[in-house]
Amino acid sequence: MNCACKLSGNHVVGLPQQLRPRLLSGLSEAEIQSVLSAAKHRHFRALTIVVNQDDPAERCFLLTSGRGRHFLITDEGQKINLHWLTAGQPFGGAAMLSAPMPYLLNTEILTDSCALVWERQAIRDLVSHCPKLLDNALSIAATEHIPWLISAHVSLSSDDANGRIAHLLVSLASGIGKITPSGVEMKITNEDVAEWANVTQFTVSRSLNDWQRAGILTKHRGKILLRRPELLIH
C-alpha cells in the first residue's frame, strides 16, 4: 500500500506533508526528529485488531494514514463501538504512564492504514526528555475523547431516536468526515449508525430517507453525504 511517511529503511524521518498531529504540538524540530527516530513504521490491513483490551499496554501508536476506531467487549460478549480514529490521532497512550497498565479498549483498523509504533520503554524515555508529549496526550483525552463520550451519553439519555441519530451524524462529520464541494462525506453504514445511536436499522433508514427528501443529506452505498448539518441539528 502507498504511504506518505518519509522513511529510511524502517526508520521514520518525516511525516506526511499535511499531517500535523496534536501529539507533537509545541515540540521543537529537534524533539520531533527524536520522537520520530524512536518509532517503528507499520502497515496494517483493514479489519486488523491492533490493540486488545486487558492486554498489557506495551506500545503506543500514532495513525499516519487510514481510519480506525475503539470498541469495547462487554462481559456479556456485546461489541460496543466507541471513538473513531483518523490520521494524526494517537492510541494506546496507557503505555506512556509510569505504572504498568492494561489497555482499556480494543482498537480496530478499518481501512488499510499506516502507523508509527513506540515500544513502552521508548515512549517512556521520550516522555522523560519531552514532557510536552504527555501534556499533549492528556490534552487530547480532555478535549476530544471525554467530550465525545459526554455528548454520546447525554444524547442517549435525553434525545429521542431521531435526535440521537442527528447528534451522532454531526459528531461523526467533525471526526471522520471528508469535506467535499457538496458537503461532508462519511464512510459509514446504516448498521453502524443503528449500533452507535442504539436504534434499529429500520429507524435509521426511515430517518435518513426523511432527511434526504428534505435535502439535508444524500445516502450512498456505504457512505452518507451530509449537505446541511445545521438543519439536521435544528
Domain boundaries in the chain?
6-150, 159-233
**CATH code for the part of the protein at 6-150:** 2.60.120.10
Instruction: Examine domains 6-150 and 159-233 and report if their fold is the same.
Output: no
What predicted TM-score, i.e. pTM, was given to this entire model? Answer: 0.78
Q: How confident is the model at residue 146 (pLDDT cuts 50, 70, 90)?
A: confident
Question: Residue range 142-170: average pLDDT?
Answer: 76
Return the SS3 of 25.
coil
DSSP sequence for 51-70: E-TTSB--EEEEEEESEEEE
| Percentage above 70 pLDDT, the chain | 94
* pLDDT above 80 for 100: yes
CA distances to 27, 37, 116, 126, 175 from 130, in Å: 8, 14, 17, 6, 28
pLDDT of residue 93: 94
Give the separation between CA 89 and CA 173, rounded to whole angstroms.
16
Q: Which residue has the cell 471528508?
A: 178
* pLDDT above 70 for 75: yes
More confident residue, 133 or 164: 133
CATH class of the domain defined by 159-233: mainly alpha
* pLDDT above 70 for 208: yes
Give the separation between CA 166 and CA 207, rounded to whole angstroms.
9
* pLDDT above 70 for 147: no
pLDDT of residue 194: 86
pLDDT of residue 1: 63
Give the separation between CA 125 and CA 168, rounded to whole angstroms.
38
pLDDT of residue 178: 83
